[in-house]
Amino acid sequence: MKAEKSRENDARTRKRFGWSSKLRACRELLPPFARYLWWLVILVCLALITTAILPLLPLNWWWVRIGDFPRVQLLIGYLVALLGLIPYRRRMLAKVLAGLLIIGVVIQIYWIFPYLPLAPIEVQPAESSDPMSHVRIVTANVLQENKNAGPLLDLVEKEQPDVLVLCEVNERWVNDLSSLKEKFSFHLTYPLDNTYGIALYSNLEVRSAEVRTLVRDDIPSIDAQLRLPSGDEVRLFAVHPNPPRPGESTRKRDAELIIVGREVREDPSAIVLGDLNDVGWSRTTNLFQEVSGLLDPRRGRGLYPTYNANSWIFRYPLDYLFHSDDFRVVKLRILSDIGSDHFPLFVELSREPEAIAEQEGPHLDASDREDAEEAVEAAPSAEPLNPD
């Protein structure tokens, strides 16, 4: 009996000392691991803080302007990083990093808040149900390498738009969409193999339409004058400027948007739409709105991200429609997948002239005019902005 108890005591002793040795080993390893983890947290926080500050700089470098796009994703990243600082909350550096991250949160919310449903709407809901004053518009980037036109044709058949604008069409796409010529009374196509081909299909009367190249010969846009069934005329400008790319500044993209904004500013009724390769909360798009005086129906309704259709996380609103203050919005929604990396955008507008007194576009002040002039310096055809 004594021998058995002795063996049990020996076993407990070995187990105790065995666990003690393991704990000692863990304690010896923990300090280096904890230090490495702390440094990793510091580096991640500094990187995130940099993404909040860089886009505030008045620079056109692509790696600066690209920070305008993922503001929602960065906001989530800041909140996760703040949670990661909780174990180190007693350290002074952790408190400093937390303060800077909170500033980053405020910056991102400042830019994206106008597009959240909590914000005031910029464009009023339509009050008129008169179909003669309504126009149904679909704009879509088809993705040049996408070889299946079927989903797009099915979507057009379902939505029955009055106006259809397509980006990234080449000769193959125009041929695959040949049936649209029977569906629409007017079509103007300018296919290219550089992903900047553009096309306009319309069942509204087209008073005039031309393909224009504003800043680069290989990046066209379409400038058209349409007549609604009510008899009212509206200018439609379809654009697809080039995106921020490594090794390139965004000056030409910015210049094209500002030139278009300047051209439509004096039009009593105008619509600008397409794949802008920019987000609504960027400095450039805000400047475009101030120069053009056009309204954004997304404001106060939602982000409506159209790109990237292949990702659930990294999605941004790149496809837009802006319009003059004589329109109210009937419907605004993202359409189903057509095999592209962009979702199509559907907007139905109602022309209601009385809305002019109740909704007003942004104003162009002296400082904004100077910024706009600087933005168009890269475009040889640019002319001085006219004062208000």
- Residue ranges and CATH numbers for the domains of the chain are 2-114 (no CATH), 122-375 (3.60.10.10)
| 4 pLDDT above the threshold of 70 | no
What was the pLDDT predicted at 362?
81
How far is 224 from 272, CA to CA, in rounded Å? 10
Q: Which helix (H) or strand (E) holds 201?
A: strand 198-202
State the pLDDT at residue 107.
93
Neighbours of 103 (CB within 10 A): 14
Distance CA 255, CA 375 (A): 5
pLDDT confidence of residue 234: 97
Q: 297 and 350 in contact (C-beta within 8 Å)?
A: no
List pLDDT tens digits, range 243-265.
776 656 667 778 889 899 999 99
Cα–Cα distance for residue pair 242/55, rounded to 1 Å: 19
Q: How confident is the model at residue 15 (pLDDT cuts 50, 70, 90)?
A: very low
Per-residue pLDDT band for 22 (boundaries 50, 70, 90) equals low
Collapsing DSSP to helix, strand or coil, 24 comes out as: helix
**Cβ atoms within 10 Å, residue 16:** 10
Cα(129)–Cα(352) distance, rounded to whole angstroms?
10
Compute the mean pLDDT over every residue in the chain, rounded to the nearest whole number. 86
Identify the CA nearest to 286 among candidates 309, 252, 320, 310.
320
Question: pLDDT tens, 125-158?
Answer: 999 989 999 999 999 999 999 999 999 999 999 9
- What is the sign, positive or negative, of the torsion defined by CA atoms of 151, 153, 157, 162? positive
CA-closest candidate to residue 141, choices 340, 346, 348: 340
* pTM of the shown model: 0.84
At residue 293, does pLDDT exceed 70? yes
Least confident window among 30-34, 76-80, 188-192: 30-34
The burial class, CB within 10 Å (0-12 / 13-18 / 19+), for 256 is buried
